[in-house]
Amino acid sequence: MAARTGGRFDLGRAATADAAAAVLPVRHVAGVRTIDYAPARLNPQPSRSYYFWMMAPAIVVLAAISLYPFFWLVWMSLHNVEVGAGPDTFVGFANFERLFTRDRKFWNGWSLLLQYSAMCLSLQIVLGVLLAVILNGSRYEKILVTVILMPMMMAPVIAGLVWYYLYNSTFGWYHWLLQSAGILGETSIVGSTSTAMLGLVIVDVWQWTPLITLITLAGMKRVPRDQLEANMVDGAGELRNFFAIVLPNLYPFLLIAILLRFMDNFRFIDVALTLTGGGPADATNILPVYLFDVSFQYFKLGRGAAIALTLLLVTILLGMLLVRLFEGPQSRRADMGSEG
């Protein structure tokens, strides 16, 4: 009779299976005698402590570069730390109390940061998805993607310097173009309080829309073809297919893209410092720029730590809100599919 070892039939070793049946558990499945047999390990199973000690160096490094600075930030936020102003003194929540009750620039920085992030994210998502739709399946897709990604490969400081010269009111090509069209006057786009924020947004959109395009394009390659074809059989056109099939499948990818850009907008100050430095008249003094000024211009590290800790906590909370917002449609769609 044939024996099956390890889930497979082996006719050449039936005699060995008969001998092993005397000591190994035997089961009869559909009239076939099956021997449950697991081959002996060449090496013993490692203990849990082995895996812990293997990960220990990485854990120590991560703790050194993340946990220690975090707790040091919390410690400084509770102390009056000023360079050259004597020993550090414990002040409790006085730094936070001053920020929330007496610091007008702190609240102005939050307002400008939210405006800046909202404008950047909105434009980048719309343009990024539009470019991905245009590039997907096009004849020169690879070449065009390579060209579009070039701004993203540029360092933010270099990008700021490039646009600083393009915006320059004396010899800037973009300033000359906008002035010739009657849109701008003699003042540069970053030299006016009414247009300076728009100048920063344009630079951010120019540099980081390619990232949204790349992530969206990768998501469009994963859209199931059978769903598109089934919807087309029902009479759906390209536009309806996009909103009914493609866009819901892009939710996880758009979530990743939005979270990346949202956190970057709350952290990066390179372009703002290069182009405007927070001016003119605090028109672009977003919170990270104000944090830089307090900490490294005025050397009030205690207040700077309080601003940084507040910025970190709000970033985490808003990130969690974005995750729930974008997971909602996807989870509802999955629930409807399981019920069907």
Q: What confidence category does residue 6 fall into, taking pLDDT thresholds of 50, 70 and 90?
A: very low
Residue spans per domain, the chain: 3-35, 100-339
Question: What confidence score (pLDDT) does residue 99 get?
Answer: 93
Q: What pTM was estimated for this model as a whole?
A: 0.78
pLDDT tens profile 258-289: 999 999 998 888 999 999 999 899 999 999 99
Q: What confidence category does residue 230 fall into, taking pLDDT thresholds of 50, 70 and 90?
A: confident
Question: What confidence score (pLDDT) does residue 50 get?
Answer: 86
Quote the DSSP letter at residue 154. S
Strands 32-35 and 8-10: unpaired
Sheet of strand 26-29: strand arrangement: 8-10, 3-5, 32-35, 26-29
Q: How many residues does the chain have?
A: 340
The C-alpha atoms of residue 207 and residue 201 are separated, in whole angstroms, by 10
The C-alpha atoms of residue 296 and residue 131 are separated, in whole angstroms, by 40
Quote the DSSP letter at residue 228. H
pLDDT surpasses 70 at 90: yes
294 contacts 83 by C-beta, under 8 angstroms: no
Question: What confidence score (pLDDT) does residue 33 get?
Answer: 72
261 contacts 120 by C-beta, under 8 angstroms: yes
pLDDT tens profile 143-196: 999 999 999 999 989 999 999 999 998 888 988 998 888 888 888 899 889 999
User: Residue 118: CA atoms inside 13 Å, Cβ hemisphere, count?
Assistant: 6
323 contacts 252 by C-beta, under 8 angstroms: no
pLDDT surpasses 70 at 12: no
Amino acid (one-letter) located at 141: E
Strands 79-80 and 89-90: antiparallel
Amino acid (one-letter) located at 326: F
pLDDT surpasses 50 at 3: no
SS3 194: coil
The C-alpha atoms of residue 195 and residue 167 are separated, in whole angstroms, by 11
Q: Which CATH number fits domain 100-339: 1.20.1260.10, 1.10.3720.10, 3.10.450.100, 2.60.40.3950?
A: 1.10.3720.10
Q: Residue 25 has which token pair?
A: 């558990």
